[in-house]
Amino acid sequence: MTISDIAKMAGVSSAAVSRYLNGGPLSEQKRAIIREVVEKTGYCPDTTAQTLRTGKVNQIGVIAPSIGSQSVGQITAGIASELDARNYLLLLGNTELDAQRELGYLTAMQRNHVAGIILLGSYYTPQLAQALKNCRVPVVVTGQRFPDVACVYNDDHTAARELTQRMLEHGRRRIVYIGGSERDDATGIQRREGVQDALRDAGLDGDQLPRICCNAFTVEEGQRCMQELLARCPFLDGVVCVTDTVAFGAMHALKQAGRQIGRDVGLAGIGDSWAGSVTDPGLATVRFYQKQVGQEAARILLQMLEEKEHGGPVRQVTLGYQVVERGSL
């Protein structure tokens, strides 16, 4: 079966079918008609011939720091939903936070002629900055604000600040913080500074915030860090954690120490994990709209491809959040 056969069955031109298959501009009515015929017949274009003819592959590379992360799963789902609607395939690379593997994926995906790349950002390094500058295809970064690159990211600073303000409103004054590596601007620096600014707003000394950095966003690390902070600050009455997963570990350590969460100590995380709604007490947190992050990143990249904008203004979009109050505050 050929494009011409599909065109005859759909009652449209071969050019319209070609635009549909290549993600080109097309009315929604024609797109729906062609999609129905393609799905009915199971037609699949010869991608090798298509590449030789057009010089492009309808694939978008997505580079993720850890495919086991809930937020990565939500962002990737958002990307996939937009790409599917435009007949692009998603090619996924998992770096496990390995900077060299990340650079390797950037190179390999370009060699395989992907149309563009979405990088779920983590650490910004001079090597990564140079690699992004040298990319031959459009790139969009999510989760981080990198200079001179199209980005879609969350307002980590304001979210952490408001979350801490809510904890202060519950009468907590001896607040401690379990953070992440400050190599990561979003989770390491922005969230920590948001907590400190909330303390300053309340007339407390944000610079003296007792804090500890976990080595990974795991329950085990959250438990270890909480135990250390309890030893250092036995009279603490509030704990803000860089992620929900870390907060679950802190919750376990606090309960082991006989502390009543939500009564004599407040606890909050960031990320709105599903588990936070079923713990006892429920975990206060920040909800980011991660699926929308992925959708917006894909839309920006597809627009860059349509307009062939490899230069010009760089789009950087900040998405909102919601503080979710539960019994742990």
Counting the structural domains of the chain, the total is 3
* Residue 240, beta-bridge partner list: 177, 268
What is the extent of the structural domain holding 283?
Answer: 156-288
Same domain? 273 vs 194: yes
Query: What is residue 55's predicted lDDT score, i.e. its pLDDT?
Result: 54
Task: Please check whether residues 218 and 256 belong to one and the same domain.
Answer: yes
According to the model, what pLDDT value does residue 47 have?
Answer: 53
Residue 60 lies in a domain: yes
For residue 52, what pLDDT is reported? 47
Which residue ranges in the chain fall short of pLDDT 70?
22-24, 45-57, 308-312
Residue 279 φ then ψ, to 5°: -70, 165
Let me know whether 206 and 264 are in one domain.
yes
The verdict on 128 and 161 lying in the same domain is: no
Pair (166, 275) in one structural domain: yes
One domain, residues 283 and 298:
no
Q: Helix or strand or coil: residue 166?
A: helix
Query: Omega of the bond prior to 281 within 30 degrees of 0, cis?
Result: yes
Residues 234 and 114 in one domain: no
Question: Could you tell me if residue 325 is inside a domain?
Answer: no
Dist CA 249 CA 268 (whole Å): 12
213-259, pLDDT tens digit by residue? 999 999 999 999 999 999 999 999 999 999 999 999 999 999 999 99
- Please state the pTM of the whole predicted model: 0.80
Contacts of 27 (CB under 8 A, 6+ apart): none
Distance from C-alpha of 9 to C-alpha of 35, rounded to nearest angstrom: 11
Residue 261 and residue 140 in one domain: no
Q: Does residue 85 lie in a domain region?
A: yes
Looking at the structure, tell me whether residues 115 and 70 fall in a common domain: yes
283 within a domain of the structure (yes/no)? yes
Say what the pLDDT of residue 312 is. Answer: 62
The domain spanning residue 38 has which CATH number?
1.10.260.40
Q: What is the C-alpha separation between 292 and 19, in angstroms, rounded?
A: 26
Amino acid at 283: L
CB 34 within 8 A of CB 10: yes
Whether residue 205 is contained in a domain is answered as yes
Residues 272 and 166 in one domain: yes
As a whole number of angstroms, the distance between CA 82 and CA 291 comes to 11
276/122 Cα distance (integer angstroms): 24
Task: Report pLDDT for 208.
Answer: 94
- How far apart are alpha carbons 21 and 38 in whole angstroms? 10
Is residue 163 domain-resident? yes
Cα separation, 78 vs 294, in Å, equals 4
